[in-house]
Amino acid sequence: MAHQAHNIPWTLLASNLRWVPGSCGHCHNYDLHPRFKPDQGKELKHFAKAFAKNVEEHARCERRKYCDKYDTPGSTDVIIDGNTATKIQPTVRRWLKTCKEESPRVDYVRGWDKGQSMEEPTFQCPALPREERIASAFCRRYRTTGCYTFFYQRQSSGYFNMELVKTLIVCGEMEPILRVCAHPDVAINGWRHIDECGCGLFDLGWDQVYKKALLAYVCLNTIYCFPELWDSASGKNEHSDYRNTRSYQLMVTESTRPGATSHVVAYPHRQFFGIKDPGSTSFSTTSRAWTLRWGQYADKSGRFQVGKIYGKASFGDFLAMQNLAEYEPALPDTEEVRSMLCFKGIPFEIALDIMELANYTPKRRLNVPHDPFHPSNTEELAKYLKYCWQLLVRCDMMANELGMKLDWEDAVTDCVRQLWEAKGHRRLTKLWRDDERWIFE
């Protein structure tokens, strides 16, 4: 059963889509396509409203788990205590390391890599010095800057704090955020929708937390309504496989793709799908076989744009083109290797050190890689859908605490458009609102 099926009418959304093989239609790609039913607008409006209502109700319910009202913190009050900092420290170190490698000139926090003692006598967290865990750190405002000056000159410390906010949401540590939202000068709301210098993709704000989760959540729940695409008993075969669809390949790319310099929002999705850092969204190859097969989607230099082959390449080719098909160990794999080392007489602690030095740690959650709907992955898929839903609820709860209102109907609309827009179709179905926007173009 699809997640939240008792509250969200997934079958209503699915009834407005139909499976189209790649050899049919104007798009020439495998995907679910809009039916353009007469009542499409009305039905999609009902779906979006039900979805928005459910998120908001769950956010209110989740908020009741915390204090009704938090006292206004002082500017020097510690918001992220030692226990919380210890919990999120591995994730912070991970994205700090990546950012340092990608942008060596960035100095997010003065002395973050030198090791500093915290106010707790026994606690040390080099990645999170005290000045980054107090209330004033959450009051750094976003300021529009010129091209190529975002990190290197004016925004580094404020952006570090926003990556910290994303980390807290991803890790489920919401109490520090709720506490600091009581500060009159909290500036989290200004960092919701931003880019590096005001002329890019706007993919660095904390809105990416719920947008990536929403894209995966809507796509996977909708696919569940088409068992002929994932269940062999219902007719699934190599030609009717959900992984070969444009919408699924787009979703995997977008949910695991980092922002210009922001990786933390993609971590949970990469772990679930077993995807390493995808890097650039373009790729190249010198193989004659690849050139003969996919040359029509390449320029003169042999560079391909991934978006051009969504729904045209098999999922295996799709992964290989982006160098994403490398082996990523799951938890059972690491446990088996550890047992083998111990069987050879290596002490348990040393076996763990060896595996850590070899970077042989769990990097994917699926037992059968790259196939979320495989029967062996049912439990992990259910956990992932629940987690994506929690991310939506946490973001809405934080927005409410900041005095903001997230437009979930609009977010769902954009998500549906992104996944299943019918490019090149002459028929236009007007959106259910009166703002001259269209659900499919």
List, as one string, the DSSP characters of 99-142: HHHH-TT--SSTTTTT--B-SSTT-B-TTS-GGGTBGGGGGPPP
Rounded mean pLDDT, 378-406: 96
pLDDT band at 41 (very low <50, low <70, confident <90, very high): confident
Task: Indicate the range of 78-87, 122-131, 159-168, 316-325 predicted with least confidence.
Answer: 122-131
The single-letter code of the amino acid at 320 is: A
Residue 294: burial class (beta carbons within 10 Å; 0-12, 13-18, 19+): buried
The 3-state DSSP class for residue 380 equals helix
> Pick the residue with more confidence: 404 or 295?
404
pLDDT, residue 66, reads 96
- Residues 140, 187 contacting (CB under 8 angstroms): yes
What does the pLDDT look like over 300-314, one tens digit per residue?
555 556 667 788 888
What does the pLDDT look like over 176-207, one tens digit per residue?
999 999 999 999 999 998 887 666 678 888 99
Query: How far, in Å, CA of 78 to CA of 284, rounded?
Result: 49
Query: How far, in Å, CA of 75 to CA of 113, rounded?
Result: 24
Token digits of residue 170 = 């991803």
pLDDT of 150 higher than 80: no
What does the pLDDT look like over 352-361, one tens digit per residue?
878 777 767 7
pLDDT, residue 104, reads 54
Query: How far, in Å, CA of 100 to CA of 148, rounded?
Result: 16
The 3-state DSSP class for residue 282 equals strand
Alpha helices, H only, 171-302: 175-180, 207-224, 246-256, 267-273, 288-294
- Residues 30, 246 contacting (CB under 8 angstroms): yes
Winning range, highest mean pLDDT, from 50-54, 95-99, 111-115, 429-433? 50-54
pLDDT, residue 427, reads 41
pLDDT, residue 356, reads 76
pLDDT, residue 240, reads 86
pLDDT of 208 higher than 80: yes
Strands 17-20 and 438-440: unpaired
pLDDT of 133 higher than 90: yes
The 3-state DSSP class for residue 305 equals strand
- In what helix (H) or strand (E) does residue 34 lie, and over which residues does it extend? strand 31-34
Q: What is the DSSP letter of 285?
A: -
- How many CB atoms neighbour CB 359 within 10 A? 8
pLDDT, residue 326, reads 62
Rounded mean pLDDT, 28-35: 82
Query: How far, in Å, CA of 381 to CA of 249, rounded?
Result: 17
- Torsions phi, psi for 5 (to 5 deg): -65, -25
Query: How far, in Å, CA of 124 to CA of 239, rounded?
Result: 55
pLDDT of 212 higher than 90: yes
Plot region of 32 (φ>0 → left; ψ -120 to 50 → alpha; else → beta):
beta
- How many CB atoms neighbour CB 332 within 10 A? 10
pLDDT, residue 16, reads 94
pLDDT of 134 higher than 90: yes
Token digits of residue 147 = 């091209």
